[in-house]
Amino acid sequence: MRRNLLALLGSQQFGLLVVILLLGVVLTLFAGTHTHRVTGAEVNNFLNAATLMQVATFASFFAIMAVGVTMVIITGGIDLSVGSTYALAGVLSAMLLRDLGLTGGPAIGVGIVVCCGLGTLCGLANGVMITSLGVHPFIITLGTMWIYRGVAYVSSRAESILVPSSLTEFAKANLGLGKQLYPVPMLVMVVVAICGWMFLTKTVSGRRVFAVGGNLEAARYSGVRINRVLIAVYTISGLTAGIAAFVAVGYFGAASSADATGYELYVIASAVVGGASLAGGKGNAISAMLGALLIALMQQSIRTLHFDQKYEWIIIGFAIIVAVVLDRVSARLGSKRLLQMKT
C-alpha cells in the first residue's frame, strides 16, 4: 500500500495535477469577481462552472489529437500534419453533408464515419510513406501538413461551410447540466485519453510501441515488426485528428480550411508537457490530456488576468523548454541511480 502511494505521488500525472491546481488557486485569488445578471450574487471570474467548462472544452480539441501524437512521439517520430488532417476531415465531411442534405441522426452518423475515416486515411498515408520511403517523419509530415490543408483549401474554395444543426445539438448537448454548459467535448476527450492509456499499458501492441521507441534494434531482434508498429501509430494519430474534427465542427457549427491552424504547436506541447520524450520510449495518454488542460489553463490565465494575448506564444514556448529540460534532468538522475546500484 505504501509503495503504491509513493509511486502515485511520484508519477507524472500527480505532478501535473498539482501544477494545474496551484495555477487554478492563483487564478481564483487574482481573477476578481462580477455580479451575476440573474441571481445578483458575486461570482469569481475564474472559479465558476461556465469558465471551467470553457477551459476543458477548448483543451479537448487538441487534447484528443495529443493522445495520438503521444504514441507517435513514443516511437521517436513526430506528426506535424494533425492540424491539417483535422481541417481536411472537417471540410470534406461538411461538404458531403451539405451535398447529401442529411439531417438528424443520419447526419451525425455519416459525419462521424467520414471524419474518422478521412483522418485514418491521412494518418495511414503518413505511416506508409515514412516506412516505405525511408524519409524522416519530420519531412514527410511537414509535406503532408501543406498537402492536406491545400486540398481542404481548394475543395472548399476557402469558404466556411455550415453543418446540419443536429451535429451542433449533439456537440452542445448540456446533458442536464444547465445553459451554456456543454460537456460533450470534455467527455470525448476523457474517453479518448482512457482508451489511449489502456492501449499503451494493457495491450501487447502498446508494449511494442514503447519497445520501438526505447531501443529500435533490440525491438527488431525481438521479432517486433517495426514498420507495422509505425504505420499503426501514425494511423491512430490521424484517427484522433478525425475525432477532434468531428467534435469541433459540431461545436462551432461550421468547417473551414483555416481550422486548427497552428494546432501542431499545442498538440506537441501537450504531449511534451505531459512527459513524452522526443527521444522516444516515454509517454502517457492521460498525461498528454493533463498537459493540454495545463496549456488551456495558461491561455485562460492570460485572458482572466487581462494580459496581452501576444504573450501566449512566449509562455507556451517556455513551458515546452522547461518540460524538456526537466525530462533530461530526470533521465540523467535515473541513469546515475542505476550506476550507483550496479557499483
Q: Where in the chain are the domains?
A: 46-328
Q: What's at 118, amino acid-wise?
A: L
Q: How confident is the model at residue 11 (pLDDT cuts 50, 70, 90)?
A: low
Q: How confident is the model at residue 331 (pLDDT cuts 50, 70, 90)?
A: low
Instruction: Give me the mean pLDDT over the 8-26 stretch.
Output: 78
Q: How confident is the model at residue 311 (pLDDT cuts 50, 70, 90)?
A: confident
Q: How confident is the model at residue 3 (pLDDT cuts 50, 70, 90)?
A: low
Check: CB of residue 161 under 8 Å from CB of residue 94: yes
Position 110 pLDDT exceeds 70: yes
Task: Report the range of poorest mean pLDDT among 23-27, 133-137, 318-322.
Answer: 318-322
Region of 181 (left: φ > 0; alpha: ψ -120 to 50; beta: rest) is beta
Position 257 pLDDT exceeds 60: yes
Q: For the segment 111-168, what is each residue's pLDDT rounded down to a tens digit?
A: 999 999 999 999 999 999 999 998 999 999 999 999 999 999 999 988 999 999 999 9
CATH of domain 46-328: 1.10.3470
Region of 178 (left: φ > 0; alpha: ψ -120 to 50; beta: rest) is left
Q: For the segment 90-102, what is each residue's pLDDT rounded down to a tens digit?
A: 999 999 999 998 8
DSSP secondary structure code for residue 162 in this structure: E
Higher pLDDT, 181 or 91: 91
Position 38 pLDDT exceeds 80: no
Question: What per-residue confidence (pLDDT) applies to 316?
Answer: 73
Position 330 pLDDT exceeds 70: no
Position 103 pLDDT exceeds 80: yes
Q: How confident is the model at residue 279 (pLDDT cuts 50, 70, 90)?
A: confident
H helices present in 75-135, as ranges: 82-100, 104-133
H helices present in 174-225, as ranges: 184-202, 204-214, 216-221
Share of the chain above pLDDT 90, in %: 57
Question: What per-residue confidence (pLDDT) applies to 6?
Answer: 54
Question: What per-residue confidence (pLDDT) applies to 4?
Answer: 58
Task: Report the range of poorest mean pLDDT among 13-17, 179-183, 277-281.
Answer: 13-17
Residue 254 backbone dihedrals phi, psi, to 5 degrees = -160, 165
Q: What's at 45, amino acid-wise?
A: N
Question: What per-residue confidence (pLDDT) applies to 176?
Answer: 80
Position 253 pLDDT exceeds 80: yes
What mean pLDDT is reported for the chain? 88
Instruction: Give me the mean pLDDT over the 206-232 stretch.
Output: 92
**How open is the CA angle 24-10-70, to the nearest 5 degrees?**
75
Share of the chain above pLDDT 70, in %: 90
Question: What per-residue confidence (pLDDT) applies to 197?
Answer: 96
Give the three-state DSSP class for 223: coil
Question: What per-residue confidence (pLDDT) applies to 222?
Answer: 87
Higher pLDDT, 80 or 301: 80
Position 7 pLDDT exceeds 60: no
Question: What per-residue confidence (pLDDT) applies to 341?
Answer: 63
pTM of the full predicted structure?
Answer: 0.91
Instruction: Give me the mean pLDDT over the 30-52 stretch.
Output: 81
